[in-house]
A and B are shown apart, each in its own frame.
Chain A
């Protein structure tokens, strides 16, 4: 464990908490892409299948349980509790355009052709594109509430910090996870446009981020 990975995990946790609390307190999921949240729940489910078979550390196990619980709670709030507030006509990204390539690629490019390893690879590739429906929804509505942009900021920051973690681990322990690194770089690149808007608009105190 190093400071970059810890900061990344904390940033990830903060993002998930920001979204969950926002939906719970505003009793609304307007402007939130339910599809992205379902994809994130799928990412955690397929990545953390080793939760009961491999014990790495108390921290690892606890964080996996927390991430799984909170992502399912978010999906529950969007599609069950506050479903009448769910903005389905703006959440129209065709997720099959993400799932088909990701499934295909995880069968082609993996470390071992075993169910657990293919599902892990699937979760890595899926995480890189899981935010697409949310970013698409923002471009479609042309705006995002500032809380939603803070959620996206910490979510994008988490994988950027993981890149620093991989650089650190490469130089200190010769660790290099090619699939995670390539996918993580792609994932972070998808946030660059948002990061620019976030810094130039939201941090200037705008109530909500209006796209140009």
Chain B
């Protein structure tokens, strides 16, 4: 799945 709106990476 493409990146969800919540970006958990720096």
Contacts and interface: CB of A to CB of B under 8 A. Distances in A.
B2 to A, nearest CB: 5
Interface string A65-81: 00100000000000000
Contacts of A165: 9
15 contacts: A5-B9, A9-B10, A54-B6, A111-B2, A111-B3, A112-B5, A117-B5, A174-B1, A175-B1, A176-B2, A176-B3, A177-B9, A178-B2, A179-B3, A180-B3
Contacts of B3: 111, 176-180
Interface residues of B, number: 10
Interface of A: 5, 9, 12, 47, 50, 54, 56, 60, 63-64, 67, 111-112, 117, 120, 162, 165, 174-180
A67 B2 contact: no
A95 B8 CA distance: 29
B5 A60 contact: no
Nearest to A9: B10
Interface of B: 1-10
Contacts of B5: 111-112, 117
A4 to B, nearest CB: 11
B7 A67 contact: no
Contacts of A177: 2-3, 7, 9
A113 B8 CA distance: 19
A5 B9 CA distance: 8
Contacts of A12: 10
Contacts of B9: 5, 162, 165, 177, 180
Contacts of B7: 47, 50, 120, 177
Nearest to A50: B7
Nearest to B3: A177
